[in-house]
Amino acid sequence: MVDITEKNVTERTAVATGEIVMNKETLEAVKKGNIKKGDVLGTARIAAIMAAKQTQSLIPMCHNILLTNAKIEFSFDDDGNKIFIKSTVKTTGKTGVEMEALTMVAIAGLTIYDMCKSMDKFMVIGEITLVEKHGGKSGDWVKDEK
């Protein structure tokens, strides 16, 4: 692990996004709450928050970070048969929460896949990326939307 002993405590935020593409019937079933396993987005939300709190156990060189907020949002793209996933993670600490934000998006996507796989075995989870970082020595950063 990187030694962060001498780093300053600052407020830090990271935002990550991703998506899961599925067939039209599956997307409609998710929206209507007609998936056999239950509430897809509610379950994905809980799984994502739990994952953020366990990131240091999943990724070997991550520090154990006290999170002050972990939020996940879902939106639909009916034309592309996609669910967009967006996470926002905050802390006041010595290191950033980028990995926690990315982990939230990945686990939310995997949870959606698991809950919908009986209807659609060809879903694609992708475009998982960090889009914003605020705080810390390197300052603020926002990904260009090119």
CATH code for position 74: 3.30.70.640
Residue 111 within any structural domain of the chain: yes
Residue 105 within any structural domain of the chain: yes
Residue 122 within any structural domain of the chain: yes
* Catalytic residue (choose from 114, 120, 140, 144): 114
Write the pLDDT tens digit of every residue in 68-85.
999 999 999 989 999 999
Q: In what order do the strands lie in the sheet with 124-134?
A: 67-77, 82-93, 10-21, 124-134, 141-142
Closest by Cα among 117, 113, 53 to 85: 113
Q: Beta partners for 19?
A: 84, 126
Buried/exposed 114-138: b ≥16 CB within 10 Å, e otherwise:
ebbeebbeebebeebebbbbbbbee
Q: Is 114 a catalytic residue?
A: yes
Residue 5 within any structural domain of the chain: no
Write the pLDDT tens digit of every residue in 25-56.
999 999 999 999 999 999 999 999 999 999 99
Percentage helix, strand, coil for the chain under 3-state DSSP, each rounded to 5: 30, 35, 35
Write the pLDDT tens digit of every residue in 86-126.
999 999 999 999 999 999 999 999 999 999 999 999 999 99
In this structure, what token pair is assigned to residue 68?
A: 């002050």
Contact call for residues 20 and 134 (beta carbons, < 8 A): no
Contacts of residue 81, defined as CB under 8 A and 6 or more positions apart, other chains included, come to 21, 22, 23, 24, 26, 27
Write the pLDDT tens digit of every residue in 103-114.
999 999 999 999
Residue 144: its pLDDT value, please? 85
Distance CA(144)–CA(24), nearest Å, equals: 30
Contact call for residues 131 and 24 (beta carbons, < 8 A): no
Residue 143 within any structural domain of the chain: no
What is the domain range of residue 27?
10-137
| pLDDT(146) > 80 | no
In this structure, what token pair is assigned to residue 62?
A: 């991550």
In this structure, what token pair is assigned to residue 74?
A: 């879902």
40 or 146, higher pLDDT:
40
Residue 89: its pLDDT value, please? 98
Total number of domains in the chain: 1
Residue 2 within any structural domain of the chain: no
Residue 138: its pLDDT value, please? 84
Residue 97 within any structural domain of the chain: yes
Residue 146 within any structural domain of the chain: no
